[in-house]
Amino acid sequence: MSLVWCSMSELALRQLDNELWEIPIGSVPGMRVPGRLFADAELLAAIERDHSLEQLGNVATLPGIVEASLAMPDIHQGYGFPVGGVAATEEPDGVVSPGGVGYDINCGVRLLALPLDVDALGARREPLVHELSRRVPVGAGGRGAREGVAGADLARVLSLGPRALLEDLGIGTEADLELTESGGRLPEADPAAVSARARERGASQIGTLGSGNHFLELQAVERIYDAAAAAAFGLEPGQVTVLIHSGSRGLGHQVCTDFVKRMDAKLAGYGIRLPDRQLSCAPIGSPDGQAYLAAMAAAANFAWANRAAIADRVRHGVARVLGVATARETRQVYDVAHNVAKLEEHGARRLCVHRKGATRAFPPRHPEIPAAYREVGQPVFIPGSMGTASYVLTGREGSMRRSFGTTCHGAGRRQSRTAVRKSVDGAALRRQLEADGIVVRAVSSRGLAEEAPQAYKDVDNVVAVVERAGLAARVARLRPIGVVKG
């Protein structure tokens, strides 16, 4: 067992095995459980450059937290919780914390598989990327804020998620719902718990991509690692796919804002003391805790509907460039959520599992996996960056024993947006990506620079740690051939 001192946080990490490190109880005053991190030495060197490990120790002070506060190998500094953080709390003392979910509630990814390979796509690749960028509104404001799905009933979307779009507007299919985590709906949702300001911000944003790290990426299956799982997911070598990364847009951001402020004002009344007020929280069973869970669930349903509407626009773009038959056969592989707090059964315990920048990774035969995938495990998607690979994986039993059925959601930032803008010229980056065979459509060179590949950790390394730790196993590697950024 080795001891490593982390430079920025000045915390001592104890190595438990090749992929697991621990912040011992007592390292941060008030810790109730240890903090644990999945990483190797190379990733640890990148992780310790910010204050994410200090945040991991702070999370371990939350009332009712069980076993450990956890961090995935893509961990980086966030609001309250680190991005890549996981915490499970248990009633009667357990709390729910909006900082443990984040501002982009149910930011997540949806993978679509087209019925053709990259060779058959050929010269139509650039027209397809252009058509997708034309059809899917992007950006924090501008046209992306004005071009949501017309006729969508917001209250029904908040309550039912993408099923409301299917029943009311014919958007999506029953198969899409089946192949979405939780069927695309958290039943605890209560539209009345969502503020008028949040509704106003989200009303016109269903079917819009947003900005920041959100993207729509055209990819090709570069390598298959698990033939049986790939066959179950409908993936073949060379196949063209589309990966959609977006969330709850302004509505989710406002829900988080509303409840951080509300819970911060109530901390003393609940007798809760925290090392960081960004961890503001309330007991799960309290009126404030229940109201947050109801509003968060509504925002999560909105996010699933948003990705369903984006997928519908993708299919229309495919129809325009590749034909109606190709669009009709463009199928959804799966849709997974990041940034949620879910009430789950883990053994004899009913826990509130916060996953912030982390995703479920349930193993084969878990009852919540769609029947078509139950024997191979839940699909997991770990995107890299727009210049590197993304991975499809399956959940493994180790995730249930070690991380409450969770793995990471991406490569994870190694540089802040401000820092990377100082070293990367967006126009030059665009030229380099296109020279590498990646068609780029982006609103601004500045936004492109913020998401430069060098701003992220090595996704191959991150995935290797996940696999060695037994959280998930590789199925396929996808390489980018086109990207649309906000």
User: Which entry of 51, 245, 354, 409 is annotated as an active-site residue?
Assistant: 409
Encode the chain (486 residues) as per-residue pLDDT tens digits: 555 545 455 788 999 999 999 999 999 999 999 999 999 999 999 898 899 999 999 999 999 999 999 999 999 999 999 999 999 999 889 999 999 999 999 999 999 999 999 999 999 999 999 999 999 999 875 344 457 898 999 999 999 999 999 999 999 999 999 999 999 999 999 999 999 999 999 999 999 999 888 999 999 999 999 999 999 999 999 999 999 999 999 999 999 999 999 999 999 999 999 999 999 999 999 999 999 999 999 999 999 999 999 999 999 999 999 999 999 999 999 999 999 999 999 999 999 999 999 999 999 999 999 999 999 999 999 999 888 999 999 999 999 999 999 999 998 888 887 888 888 888 898 999 999 999 999 888 888 888 888 888 899 999 999 999 999 999 999 999 999 997
> What ranges in 323-413 are assigned the alpha helix state H?
324-328, 397-402
Decide if 301 contacts 186 (C-beta within 8 A): yes
| Phi/psi at 137 (5° precision) | -60, 140
Question: What ranges do the domains of the chain cover?
Answer: 3-414+456-485
Assess whether 51 carries a catalytic annotation.
Answer: no
Specify whether domain 3-414+456-485 bears CATH 3.90.1860.10: yes
**What pTM did the predictor assign?**
0.95
| Phi/psi at 193 (5° precision) | -80, -10
Q: What's the residue count for the chain? A: 486
Identify the pLDDT of residue 2.
Answer: 58
Identify the pLDDT of residue 322.
Answer: 98
Identify the pLDDT of residue 3.
Answer: 55
Nearest CA among 131, 146, 252, 271 for reference residue 195: 252
Identify the pLDDT of residue 141.
Answer: 54
Nearest CA among 479, 389, 387, 388 for reference residue 442: 387
